[in-house]
Amino acid sequence: MENGNHEIPENANEHCPGPQSESAGKADACEGCPNQQICATAPKGPDPDLVAIVERMATVKHKILVLSGKGGVGKSTFSAQLSFALADMDYQVGLLDIDICGPSIPKMLGLEGQDIHQSNLGWSPIYLESNLGVMSIGFMLPHPDEAVIWRGPRKNGLIKQFLKDVHWGELDYLVVDAPPGTSDEHISIVQFLQATGINGAVIVTTPQQVSLIDVRKEISFCKKVGIRVLGVVENMSGLRQSIPDLKFAKLSEAGDENDVTEWALNYIKTNAPELLSMVTCSEVFDSSGGGAAKMCMEMGVPFLGKVPMDPQLCKAAEEGQSCFADQKCSTSAPALRRIIEKLVAAHQ
């Protein structure tokens, strides 16, 4: 549905003035509309700062949004590892964290406690490597436990400032880690970057229906605002662990748990050493509904692949390390690399 040149959401009230109208979210016709708060806080009309953003982004070749419908699916972990991998491929990479209320990127790149510096060119990203720069509100907080209690306009203002004031220099890829859902931050990043050319969005989910329900909404959001879905990643797709990484326990009749890991591993080494090179596989989430692959087929978007739940990947994220730096993430790193190579190939 359209009003002049502005698209009106399908679930809008009758006589909707349009999301770009000055009266959006404030008119009598907006009362009770599910979009009222978003429309009231979203930027309206021509924005002179958009020119500054276009100029700043002119040196960035590819812009990729990383989205999720549900929180806790590993979106920020994927963003961090995607950035690590692209930097390892000798690309110039920027990672922008716009999860204003829950910035986890500084932790996942081992950059906690760093401060942002300003020069005559603008804000300087925090550099992990010479070709991997990071920007996040997490660098601005006086204490990591500090809560960010901001309404939409203030969030939008900071996102705009990140885009127009951060001096990224020449970048091959700008990875934008967004919060879960389809809220103010998502509307803002799309509006601010659309004129500069967004390559598309990668959407991260877990296999179970409770996550896929929200991912369908995320895909719908992308289609409505004209963002190409580069593909969906099914994260935590089963638990994979090598035998030597397992912990073994014996339960007593009283239900007490006794650690027998040393005994069990010695038994395996002595009696079945070939098991030590094997990987255990178990399903953590119910994927009987077909998981992300089936959903992608139904919604007509690419399925990029599955990444298993890997305790070593979790440890790498906690320590701010790349899962590609060594052979410890033996089950997750190859899966992530295949997905990232697909993304890179699509932009060559």
Annotation: binding site: 16, 30, 33, 39, 69-76
Which residues, other chains included, contact 128 with Cβ-Cβ below 8 Å and sequence gap of 6+?
87, 109, 110, 111, 134
Annotation: binding site for ATP: 69-76
Cα–Cα distances (Å) from 282 to 67, 132, 217, 239, in that order, read: 26, 35, 29, 5
Cα–Cα distances (Å) from 116 to 14, 119, 122, 137, 140, in that order, read: 47, 10, 10, 10, 7
Backbone torsions φ then ψ of 44, nearest 5 degrees: -120, 145
Q: Which of 330, 313, 331 is nearest to 322 (CA)?
A: 313
3-class SS of residue 7: strand
Is the Cα dihedral 45, 46, 50, 54 positive or negative? positive
- End-to-end CA distance of the chain, in Å? 36
d(CA 134, CA 106): 8
User: To which residue do tokens 């995320």 refer?
Assistant: 218
Is the Cα dihedral 76, 82, 88, 91 positive or negative? negative
Annotation: binding site for [4Fe-4S] cluster: 16, 30, 33, 39
CA angle 240, 176, 322 (to 5 degrees): 40
212 touches 295 (CB < 8 A): yes
Cα–Cα distances (Å) from 173 to 24, 61, 87, 88, in that order, read: 34, 6, 9, 13
d(CA 86, CA 322): 11
Q: Which of 322, 310, 254 is nearest to 281 (CA)?
A: 310
